[in-house]
Amino acid sequence: MIDNSNDNQQSPCVLLFGGTGWIGNKMIDLMKEKSIKYYVSTNRLENRSEIIEEIKRVNPTSILNCAGITGRPNIDWCEDHKVETIRSNIIGTLNLLDIANQCNVHVCNLATGCIYQYDDKHPINSGIGFKEEEAYNYFGSFYSTAKQTVEQLSKNYPNTLTLRLRMPISDSVQEPRNFITKIKNYERVVNVPNSMSVLYDLLPVMLDMCCKQTVGVFNFVNPGVISHNEILDLYKLHIDPSFQYQNFSVEEQDRILKAGRSNNHLDTSKLESLYPNIPHIQTSIQDVFKRMKRNTSTPTTTN
């Protein structure tokens, strides 16, 4: 057991896993901007002895886990690579959580909100979202069920913060993991309202929760829901007036995918009780496209 009894008196120091990934890279930029001390681990999540030695050397106040397999180009990959998904997303993540607990270090683990599906108690457009303590009801993809396994077991570790992201949105259309970029490149899209995570709003909250060593499970999305069509209409309005798209039904979508897709509304009351200024998704998405337009505008030159 490593003695971190004086952690509350330490300046924040974050040990980051998954620093080469999309969100991990953004967290590095944010920690630099906020002058937060950090280290990027080069160890795989399964490497128990190396991680323990790294924690002894770094002495972090918090571990942030942005590592894990999401599949390329999408979660359908996990259906054909279940062993690799288990090794990384279940065994590796649980190994890290267990080490953090053994070393008495706070750990923040990025999870998914794709563990629920609209049902009779949570109808579409009802305004009734799934709360953190509700039982999972979506089992349509191996990726989601693997994440459920980890989340359920992680609740036994009192030092753990679990953040359920969904359909993360960034300000750059050049980023392939950006949900806007994904759906604009689809031939057809379903038109379903969903909870989504605007990274511009939520990554600073994630860093603050790490520094404060917050624990528990949180639906880590913006309040409210927005549909695919609403997003693509805004893309056409602000970015590309010539853009066109077509819809198809969820049933038609399911026929061309190896794994189903979760559609849900996550309740954000718990998150808002700590961070009441997180903007509603309908407000935030307007600002996303304003920033995206600035990011994609070609500078004019003068002779």
pLDDT digits (tens, 9 = 90+) for 101-138: 999 999 999 999 999 999 999 999 999 999 999 999 99
pLDDT tens per residue across span 129-152: 999 999 999 988 888 888 999 999
Separation CA 257–CA 27 (nearest Å): 31
Kindly report the length of the chain: 303
The pLDDT of residue 72: 65
The pLDDT of residue 253: 58
Q: Is the pLDDT of residue 5 over 50?
A: no
The CATH number of the structural domain formed by 8-168+196-224+263-275 is 3.40.50.720
Q: What is the CA radius of gyration of the chain?
A: 20
The pLDDT of residue 295: 83
Q: Is the pLDDT of residue 34 over 90?
A: yes
Return the higher-pLDDT residue of 143 and 162.
162
**Cα–Cα nearest to 92, from 51, 138, 148, 38:** 51
Average pLDDT over the chain, rounded to an integer: 89
DSSP readout, 95-156? Answer: HHHHHHHHTT-EEEEEEESTT---BTTB-TTSS-PBPTTSPP---S-HHHHHHHHHHHHHTT
DSSP state, residue 299: P
- What lies within 8 Å, CB to CB, of 174 at 6+ separation is 181
Separation CA 215–CA 271 (nearest Å): 12
Q: Is the pLDDT of residue 74 over 70?
A: no
pLDDT tens per residue across span 265-278: 999 999 999 999 99
**Cα–Cα nearest to 97, from 207, 164, 196, 17:** 17
Q: Domain coordinates of the chain in residue numbers?
A: 8-168+196-224+263-275
The pLDDT of residue 228: 94
